[in-house]
Amino acid sequence: MAPSHPRLTSSLGQLSVRLQENSLIPTQQPTSLKLTRRADYYEQRCVKYPDRACFHCYTEFLHALLLEATPQVTSFVPQPFRMLVGREPYIPDVYVVRDARMEVLELKPRGEFESKKEVALRAFFERYDMQFRVVSNESVLTQERLALHWLHIVQVLAQAQYQGQDTAVEEQRLFDDAKQVSSLSVGTLLGDTLDAEHYRRQLALFRLLHRHDLHCDLSEKSLDYDTEVTAWS
């Protein structure tokens, strides 16, 4: 997480940028009840953001699922900063740690964002070793199927994380089994017995997939017993 700094105001020409709460520690900003009713609003407990995340549109929701599925991303925070750009209040869509680099992202249709505002925000965040960039909604929506295929996995993992369930032993066994062959199906890996241990093996598999210790292709089909799983070499 980024540290607090004593000087959190900058200006470029006539357009100033400042943090209203004087901290660069990303913290999800509260969503007003009015906005939850007016916007296409979603909530989801996540893993890389270990709390209930708030999203102000469907694209933000999908984007978070893609962040969960991306091995280079270690954490993210939705609605991370409350700011003033000029005289206008502004909250970026998401803060992301990717390959140990900090990013602040804004999602917009066609990636269109007011140029003067974008330049000012880029300059502000660059002072603190963060990259500000705009992501097009369309680039997210092209991966809608992949995002939704990860939804169930994220839901199960987030609930298990919240409950503090430990599956280290099952994870090691599944990983060792997967390493023995070039690939095998989920059904073969988990077995046929539907009991409490089956749930723990499934949870262990989801954790291995989420950490990318094991791999499967979810770009076209959701995870099922026929999905092929491989161990990363």
* pLDDT tens, residue by residue, 196-231: 788 999 999 999 999 999 999 999 999 999 999 999
Q: Summarize the confidence of residues 105-131 as an average pLDDT.
A: 96
Give the confidence band of 143 by pLDDT, cuts at 50, 70, 90: very high
In a domain, residue 4? The reply is: no
In a domain, residue 157? The reply is: no
> What residues contact 83, with CB distance under 8 A and at least 6 apart?
17, 18, 19, 20, 89, 90, 91, 92
In a domain, residue 153? The reply is: no
Same domain, 131 and 181: no
Same domain, 91 and 192: no
Residues 73, 96: contact at Cβ < 8 Å?
yes
Quick check: 6 pLDDT over 60?
no
Same domain, 88 and 175: no
**Domain limit, last residue, from 107, 141, 175:** 141
What is the number of structural domains in the chain? 2
Q: What angle do CA 11, 12, 13 make, to 5 degrees?
A: 115
Sequence-ordered alpha helix ranges (H) in 78-185: 115-126, 137-141, 144-163, 168-179
Which residue range forms the structural domain that includes residue 125?
A: 9-141
Same domain, 42 and 120: yes
Same domain, 127 and 178: no
Same domain, 126 and 14: yes
In a domain, residue 3? The reply is: no
Q: What CA–CA distance (Å, rounded) separates 148 from 154?
A: 10
Is the pTM higher than 0.95? The answer reads no
In a domain, residue 19? The reply is: yes
